[in-house]
Amino acid sequence: MSDANDKELSWREDWRIMGQEGYLLRQKLQHRRFDRSICFEDYDQCEFCWEVFDEDPSNPLRCYYSPEKRVWVCEECFNDFNPYFCWQVEELADK
């Protein structure tokens, strides 16, 4: 098996992958400060690893948000899966 095939299998076997490619593949994400007010039904966690986000004014958290799907992706999961999900990113300034 080639290295490319090994990498394809390794990301698909990651415990964090649970079918997100069906709705997040090639999506436009906003890199922005976490904002609980736009969360869907208090859905304040990473779509992949389930890290719960916290709004701390002294240390604002930046992560990735899909306005179309209304889900968040943490920095670590974004970095791990962006090569496979081919996300388009829009940088948003903090307010």
What's this model's pTM, rounded to 2 decimal places? 0.85
57: DSSP letter: T
Question: What was the pLDDT predicted at 12?
Answer: 84
The yes-or-no verdict on residue 52 having pLDDT over 60 is: yes
Dump the DSSP string for 4-21: HHHHHHHHHTSTT-SSTH
Q: Tokens 């400060």 — which residue?
A: 33
**Residue 62: strand, helix, or coil:** strand
Residue 32 is classified by DSSP as E
**Angle between the N-to-C axes of helices 75-85 and 3-12, in degrees from 0 to 180, rounded to the nearest 10:** 130
Confidence of residue 5 (pLDDT cuts 50, 70, 90): low
**What's the whole-number average pLDDT of the chain?**
87
11-50 tens-digit pLDDT: 889 999 999 999 999 999 999 999 888 887 777 899 999 9
pLDDT confidence of residue 8 = 57
